[in-house]
């Protein structure tokens, strides 16, 4: 594979596309807002006027948009990938780095198979920092053959590339990841709320508890931000809410009760309702504050 | 400090007492079940017939029993520490390694102060393995002077010794620790339940998610046990339930809503109700299984 298309040059897509150029791939880019293609053009990327035109010019199409309907539009909407000429589509691989519904992914993959296009679901974790540094973890679902053919493309954007299983397995793994992230975050918020109520120094509490069985990435990285009420994003509440909607849908499909995940989803929705949607996920702490009648870092 | 008393030679107390002997302290031991003193006597410890008698022979008394009433009985019950002669009590330090109520700790400390006895609350984390290897984290509350005088005693049983604040601060920190432990564990159970429902390989899911923002001690250490339905203790459900009762009491004192902690406490109580009290805390997974109508590791 040599020519790669990139659709969706947002906070994640742009640095990932840049890493593909650095790795020596020829890039063709498309973005709904054309201005966002300019930094890539400056690095040597060509630009396409539509996903369909882009698909006709490349060996693989990377997609990095927000939600399930966005991926559907890129693939099957007007001037979408599926509208490229049939012989151009034959053998194409779509690598979808968006975080979307596992079940929808399987349906999209089935539709693409009819066009002789393989779909790899390949959501990532590691945030915008991981995207810039190429240290993302990429969770891939889809046919093993397509995965193997895209190994160099995936290696250019991530550090840990894992084939998780058939189509949808990457998205399902990402859904599990977001369950872990959000429930651990809620635990951190409640633990620090108790610490503050007990008059403890929050930084000391975080330090003491981080080293053992209570330790987590969320505690070590977001705990100190909560302690100083720093709600700058990292990863935005709105995006975690979107991901937890995906989880809720999957859980409903399986009739799986997920009481803690449902709870944190409700609280994160409350955060968004109170204007914290574009803050970092640690702004979940503001919901705990309001419900508890206190502010972190104040007596 | 040279002569140390040790009361409570259970799964934690025995190895901690042994480490005090190894560090060169002269030990006097007492246990409600006298047979448990024998391994320590074999290592050179003297034995006392009651906490009161023990208190009269040492510079500091370590206590390592289960719950608040047990500590109260050791200190203020019949032939308790408080019944030693007044001049023997003068300047004594009690180091309480039990995990008990922070508020009760403060009351006990106040009563001991009247006898010129200092109380350090010094609950630990790190489990029986940490107790054996002397790698415990010790969270200490109480007067700084008493803490400093006991530095060598604490260093003999733990690797990380932290003065968390005044009396009760050690217990309060431990309470926060148990909030973090239990909420993270519930998140792991729900994430793995979703993984299984989605047909993912659980070990792959754990591996992929452990490295990033979803990572936690609970995921890395208890996730694999859940995946193979290994419910051997580690740390027992009954003990975590006891600790979460302490948390619930503290939260009620502060009128602090802790929805996630309350949820996991309910589910762990359900685990105990179904005969899992003496299993490891990862047996919380059996509650998730029963509610979800599945078993981990089976389709």
In tens, the pLDDT along A163-200 reads: 999 999 999 999 999 999 999 999 999 999 999 999 99
In tens, the pLDDT along A226-246 reads: 999 999 998 999 999 999 999
Check if the beta carbon of residue B37 is closer than 8 Å to that of residue B30.
Answer: yes
Report yes or no on A212 lying in a domain: yes
Angle separating helix axes A202-210 and B169-197, nearest 10 degrees? 60
Asked if A155 and A277 sit in the same domain, the reply is no
Dist CA B36 CA B19 (whole Å): 16
Asked if A116 and A239 sit in the same domain, the reply is no
Nearest to B263 among A194, A205, A263 (CB): A263
- Whether A264 sits inside 8 A of B260 (CB atoms) is yes
Nearest to A176 among B126, B195, B258 (CB): B195
> In the structure encoding, which two tokens stand for residue A199, read together?
């008059």
Asked if B242 and B155 sit in the same domain, the reply is no
Q: How many CB atoms lie within 10 A of CB B22?
A: 11
Banded pLDDT at B33 (limits 50, 70, 90) = very high
- Residue B174, pLDDT score: 98
- Residue B86, pLDDT score: 96
Please name the residue of chain B whose CA is at the shortest distance from the CA of residue A101. Answer: B198
Is the minimum CB–CB distance between B260 and chain A shorter than 8 Å? Answer: yes
Place of tokens 């503290």: B250
CA dihedral B124, B127, B128, B134 (to 10 degrees): -60
Dist CA B179 CA B185 (whole Å): 10
Is the minimum CB–CB distance between A212 and chain B shorter than 8 Å? Answer: yes
In tens, the pLDDT along B87-115 reads: 999 999 999 999 999 999 999 999 999 99
Please name the residue of chain B whose CA is at the shortest distance from the CA of residue A235. Answer: B213
Is the minimum CB–CB distance between A227 and chain B shorter than 8 Å? Answer: no
Considering the entire predicted model, what is its pTM? Answer: 0.96
HSE-CB of A285 using CA atoms within 13 angstroms: 30
Q: Which residues of B are catalytic?
A: 174
Query: Could you tell me which of A193, A208, A187 has the C-alpha nearest to residue A297?
Result: A193
Asked if B148 and B192 sit in the same domain, the reply is no
- Residue B299, pLDDT score: 53
- Whether A254 sits inside 8 A of B194 (CB atoms) is yes
Q: What is the DSSP letter of A236?
A: B
Query: Could you tell me which of A271, A292, A281 has the C-alpha nearest to residue A230?
Result: A281
Asked if B20 and B152 sit in the same domain, the reply is yes
What's A128's domain CATH number? Answer: 3.40.50.720
Report yes or no on A298 lying in a domain: no
Q: Classify each residue of B218-257 as buried b or exposed e, where b means 16 or more C-beta atoms within 10 Å of its C-beta.
A: bbbebbbbbbeeebebbbbbbbbbbbbebbeebbeebebe
Who's near A58: CB < 8 A, 6+ residues apart? A3, A4, A5, A28, A92
Who's near A188: CB < 8 A, 6+ residues apart? A216, A218, A219, A222, A223, A226, B180
Report yes or no on B106 lying in a domain: yes
Asked if B149 and B43 sit in the same domain, the reply is yes
Q: Which residues of A are catalytic?
A: 174
**Chain B contacts of A170, Cβ < 8 Å?**
none
Asked if A62 and A118 sit in the same domain, the reply is yes
> In the structure encoding, which two tokens stand for residue A77, read together?
């909407």
Asked if B74 and B181 sit in the same domain, the reply is no
Is the minimum CB–CB distance between A155 and chain B shorter than 8 Å? Answer: no
Report yes or no on B283 lying in a domain: yes
Strands (E), chain A: 3-7, 26-30, 46-47, 60-63, 93-96, 118-121, 124-125, 136-141, 158-165
Asked if B199 and B257 sit in the same domain, the reply is yes
Banded pLDDT at B298 (limits 50, 70, 90) = low
Q: Is A114 exposed, middle or buried (0-12, 13-18, 19+ CB in 10 A)?
A: exposed
Asked if B248 and B161 sit in the same domain, the reply is no
Report yes or no on B298 lying in a domain: no
In tens, the pLDDT along B65-80 reads: 999 999 999 999 999 9
What's B263's domain CATH number? Answer: 1.10.1040.10
Dist CA A33 CA A17 (whole Å): 16
- Whether A197 sits inside 8 A of B160 (CB atoms) is no
Who's near B120: CB < 8 A, 6+ residues apart? B93, B94, B95, B96, B140, B141, B142, B143, B146, B147, B150, B170
Dist CA A27 CA A13 (whole Å): 13
Q: Is A22 exposed, middle or buried (0-12, 13-18, 19+ CB in 10 A)?
A: exposed
Dist CA A119 CA B28 (whole Å): 70
Which of B136, B166, B196 is the C-terminal boundary of a domain? B166
Is the minimum CB–CB distance between B131 and chain A shorter than 8 Å? Answer: no
Asked if A8 and A147 sit in the same domain, the reply is yes
Q: Which range marks the domain in which residue B243 is found?
A: 173-292
**Chain B contacts of A193, Cβ < 8 Å?**
256, 258
Is the minimum CB–CB distance between A298 and chain B shorter than 8 Å? Answer: no
Q: Looking at the DSSP assignment, which residues form a beta bridge with residue A162? A: A139
Q: Looking at the DSSP assignment, which residues form a beta bridge with residue A124? A: A138
- Which strand (E) or helix (H) includes residue B62? strand B60-63
- Residue A143, pLDDT score: 98
HSE-CB of A243 using CA atoms within 13 angstroms: 28
Please determine, for residue B56, whether its predicted confidence score (pLDDT) is greater than 60: yes
Distance from CA of A208 to the nearest CA of B (A): 7
- Total structural domains within chain A: 2
Report yes or no on B43 lying in a domain: yes
A:B CB pairs within 8 Å:
252
- Whether A212 sits inside 8 A of B267 (CB atoms) is no
Distance from CA of A69 to the nearest CA of B (A): 21
Q: What is the mean pLDDT of each run of 10 residues along chain A (299 residues)?
A: 96 97 98 96 98 98 96 98 97 98 98 98 94 96 98 97 98 98 98 98 97 96 98 95 98 98 98 98 98 88
Asked if A79 and A221 sit in the same domain, the reply is no
Q: What is the DSSP letter of A258?
A: -
ipTM at complex level: 0.96
Q: Distance between alpha carbon B266 and the CA centroid of its chain, in Å?
A: 20
Report yes or no on A158 lying in a domain: yes
Is the minimum CB–CB distance between A299 and chain B shorter than 8 Å? Answer: no
> In the structure encoding, which two tokens stand for residue B208, read together?
């992929």
Q: Looking at the DSSP assignment, which residues form a beta bridge with residue B142? A: none
CA angle B285, B287, B288 (to 5 degrees): 65
């Amino acid at each position: 594979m040599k020519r790669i298309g990139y659709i969706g040059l947002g906070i994640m897509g742009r640095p990932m596309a840049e890493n593909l150029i650095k790795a020596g791939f020829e890039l063709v880019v498309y973005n709904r807002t054309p201005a966002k293609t300019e930094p890539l053009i400056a690095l040597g990327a060509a630009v396409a006027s539509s996903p369909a035109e882009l698909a006709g010019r490349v060996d693989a199409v990377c997609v990095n948009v927000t939600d399930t309907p966005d991926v559907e539009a890129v693939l099957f909407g007007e001037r979408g990938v599926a509208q490229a000429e049939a012989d151009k589509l034959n053998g194409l691989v779509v690598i979808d780095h968006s975080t979307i519904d596992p079940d929808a992914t399987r349906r999209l993959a089935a539709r693409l198979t009819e066009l002789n296009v393989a779909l790899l679901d390949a959501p990532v974790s590691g945030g915008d920092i991981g995207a810039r540094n190429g240290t993302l973890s990429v969770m891939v679902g889809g046919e093993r053959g397509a995965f193997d053919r895209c190994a160099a493309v995936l290696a250019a954007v991530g550090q840990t590339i894992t084939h998780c299983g058939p189509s949808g397995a990457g998205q399902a793994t990402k859904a599990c990841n977001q369950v872990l992230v959000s429930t651990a975050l809620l635990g951190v918020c409640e633990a620090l709320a108790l610490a503050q109520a007990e008059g403890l120094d929050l930084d000391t509490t975080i330090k003491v508890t981080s080293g053992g069985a209570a330790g987590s990435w969320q505690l070590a990285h977001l705990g100190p931000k909560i302690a100083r009420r720093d709600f700058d994003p990292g990863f935005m509440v709105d995006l975690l809410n979107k991901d937890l909607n995906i989880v809720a849908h999957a859980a409903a499909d399986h009739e799986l009760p997920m009481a803690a995940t449902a709870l944190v989803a409700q609280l994160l929705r409350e955060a968004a309702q109170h204007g914290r949607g574009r803050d970092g996920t640690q702004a979940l702490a503001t919901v705990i504050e309001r419900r508890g009648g206190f502010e972190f870092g104040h007596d």
